[in-house]
Structure 1
Amino acid sequence: MPTQPLDTSKLRDLVSAATAAPSLHNAQPWRFCHDRASGALELRADLGRAMPHTDPDNRALHLGCGAALLNLRVAAAHSALHTETALLPDPADRDLLAVVHLTGTGRPDADLAVLFPAIARRHTSRHPFQDRPVPPAVQDALSDAARLEGARLVFPSKWHVEALLEHVRDVEGRDSAEPERLADVQRWTRTGAEAADGIPERAFGPSRRGGRAPVRDFAGRRAVPGRAAAVFETTPQLALLGTGRDRPDDWLRAGQALERVLLLATLDGLATSLTSHSLEHQDLRELARDPRSALGFVHMVLRLGYGPAGTATPRRPVDEVLEVR
């Protein structure tokens, strides 16, 4: 099919929307390359932003890049463009994660287009949520959103939530014995002066004075002047996102599903946060799945609820992540 020509302004708008996606420690491990001759827009891994100790197989890197790809598709649909996407199209070029063609024929995906306003509003919330369950109808809609991207979103039973919370407590205890992982966190957390990436101290949220929400404390043992303390929910509403297989293309699909779920949740008035803390350890990742479900491999634990929206985190300038050739 013919490719839709992209003017510079439209190209920058699409990439800007893509880069609003979440990524591990807000490292933003992506690059975009636009080929004027073919009109193709490539999504590439920025391996200089990989985390070899925390994410040795680049699973989380693929999840973040998949989320950026979903945002790109949403922005294209909002602009009445039809997208055709190929995942991992070149086995000889492992940094090339996806190629997107914006075709001049075909109908834009209206279900994606409606999500566009949520791109700017979606932020990870590290604040307490109300002890109020997410209605079953909303849960079903979020599960359907994940399924449309080739993944599954399941809401674990009470006993499974208890097990997941125990995994988080376990990994918090391991952190002090693994200085390499702590170094990854310290590399991407910002106290004082703010950068164009990472997690600034204004997005740390309050310290936990009570409650059991699995919210990672990015301050660690560092004192943050003026930081409040708060009691978090005692019964957090968790959801597990995963796929039936565990290959790089599955991680990219999971990332797209994750962002589609987050955008829909945002439109539905939910606050959201992500926790991959325990999933960064293979033994706990294997224990995360519910044996009573068909969910094969868990890639992310979502915390959903009603509460304050998250704080916006900085984004790299488009000129830094976009190459036109």
Structure 2
Amino acid sequence: MQHTDHATLNASEQLVVAAAAAAAPSVFNTQPWSFVFTDAGMEVHADPHDASMPTASAARDVRLSCGAAVFNARVALARRGHGSRVSVFPDEGDPLLVARVAVTDDAPDRALDELYRWLGSRRTNRYPFRPEGIPAAVLALLHDAARREGATLRLLEGEPEYQRMLTSIRHATWAEDDAVREDRGARLSPSARPPAIPVGNLGPVPRPGRPDDAPVRDMAQGLDLPGRGSAAFEPHPDLAVLETADDDPGAWIAAGQALQRLLLEATGHGIAASFANQPLEDAELRPDVASGAAHFGHPQMVLRLGYATQQPPIPPRRPLSQVIRESGAA
């Protein structure tokens, strides 16, 4: 069927779509995007200024975040009764214009519409998970969610691959560059107004245990932040790698859409997620993650999945007045 674009979004609908897009996960909650509404729909622009951590994956992380925002816009349009069509990097002269989400005359995608109910419940959960594993049927749904967006979700369950991933995560954590730690510390400091991630969203400090305990990423490692407390984390978390066949900006946008689709699907089944991307942020260690993915493609995200013991608060978001900008505005 031929797609036809048409201008249907009134001011109220624009706010709904923008709020949904802005609810997407982003690298270190930097929300590195801005939205422009046109007669055809919505444009998603990367806004990397002061948003990128000084890591080797900074450019990829910004595009992944924008891809997640694109997916949420599609979900909101479906809920409002619209079809949508995405054009990735539609303007060669403007690499920060990552996508146009056009409103079409097509019937809304009912699968996207069903995911809308979970937009407000999805969290990056840095609290301990319960010890039970995720049922195979639910994992299959998450795998299918990633596949629908052109990516692969690979569960790490066999040895020695699982231990190799844990070793890579530990190595990356120990070898993290001082500049990265200092940048993150400045963003989390109580003097930051507001801090990038509030204490309630950071989760507790991992309580020391056996030397071979599975690492859980402490985003505030080394910082004394009142109110965090400490907790023992699950010793054997479910870990999965999100992969794409290619490794270019277009693939990063696709990975972001796949990530958000599977996260919303996971939320609907009571599954929480956080991220262990330390090896992907190190140019020397990323090949270690990729070595197990030769058949599938390039690693874009490492996810920790499970049943949460506690739901963190709604993460803070920039006001829509700071996110929506006029066409042509810098």
Matched letter for residue 23 of structure 2: A
Residue 275 of structure 2: SS of its match in structure 1?
Answer: strand
Aligned to 2:204: 206
Q: What does 1:255-274 align with in structure 2 at a 5 Å threshold?
A: 255-274=256-275
Residue 90 of structure 2: SS of its match in structure 1?
Answer: coil
Q: CA deviation at 1:139?
A: 0.8
Structure 1 contact 14–76 (Cα < 8 Å) conserved: yes
Structure 2 contact 57–281 (Cα < 8 Å) conserved: no
Distance 1:217 1:100 in 2: 35
Deviations 1:14-69 (A, max 9, x none): 0111111111110000011112xx33311001021342622455000000000111
Residue 302 of structure 1: SS of its match in structure 2?
Answer: strand
Matched letter for residue 226 of structure 1: G
Q: CA deviation at 1:193?
A: 6.6
Residue 31 of structure 1: SS of its match in structure 2?
Answer: strand
Aligned to 2:324: 322
Distance 1:299 1:236 in 2: 19
Q: Percent identity?
A: 37
Aligned to 1:191: 190
- The 4+ residue runs of structure 1 with deviation greater than 4 A are none
Structure 1 contact 191–200 (Cα < 8 Å) conserved: no
Deviates more, 1:75-84 or 1:181-190: 181-190
Q: What does 1:219-258 align with in structure 2 at a 5 Å threshold?
A: 219-258=220-259
Matched letter for residue 324 of structure 2: L
Distance 1:13 1:55 in 2: 34
Aligned to 1:5: 8
Q: What does 1:1-325 align with in structure 2 at a 5 Å threshold?
A: 1-35=4-38, 38-51=39-52, 53-55=54-56, 58-103=59-104, 105-156=105-156, 157-175=158-176, 178-191=177-190, 195=194, 198-210=196-208, 212-289=213-290, 291=292, 294-307=295-308, 308-325=310-327
Structure 2: segments with no counterpart, 5+ residues: none
Structure 2 contact 279–286 (Cα < 8 Å) conserved: yes
Matched letter for residue 265 of structure 1: A
Residue 146 of structure 2: SS of its match in structure 1?
Answer: helix
Deviations 1:183-230 (A, max 9, x none): 3312432436752x7211221111111463443222222212232211
CA 1:259 to 1:214, structure 2 compared with 1: closer, same or farther past 3 Å? Answer: farther
Residue 300 of structure 1: SS of its match in structure 2?
Answer: strand
Deviations 1:109-131 (A, max 9, x none): 11111111111000111111112
Distance 1:261 1:135 in 2: 15
Distance 2:263 2:271 in 1: 9
Q: CA deviation at 1:276?
A: 1.4
Distance 2:232 2:279 in 1: 22
| Count of aligned pairs | 319
TM-score (norm 2): 0.91
Residue 160 of structure 2: SS of its match in structure 1?
Answer: helix
Structure 2 contact 289–299 (Cα < 8 Å) conserved: yes
CA 1:285 to 1:59, structure 2 compared with 1: closer, same or farther past 3 Å? Answer: same
Structure 1 contact 286–297 (Cα < 8 Å) conserved: no
Q: CA deviation at 1:292?
A: 6.6
Distance 1:2 1:162 in 2: 49
Residue 183 of structure 2: SS of its match in structure 1?
Answer: helix
Matched letter for residue 224 of structure 1: L
Structure 1 contact 160–290 (Cα < 8 Å) conserved: no
Structure 1 contact 190–201 (Cα < 8 Å) conserved: no
Distance 1:133 1:158 in 2: 17
Q: CA deviation at 1:312?
A: 2.0
Distance 1:79 1:40 in 2: 13
Residue 301 of structure 2: SS of its match in structure 1?
Answer: strand
Deviations 1:292-311 (A, max 9, x none): 76221101011111122333
Structure 1: segments with no counterpart, 5+ residues: none
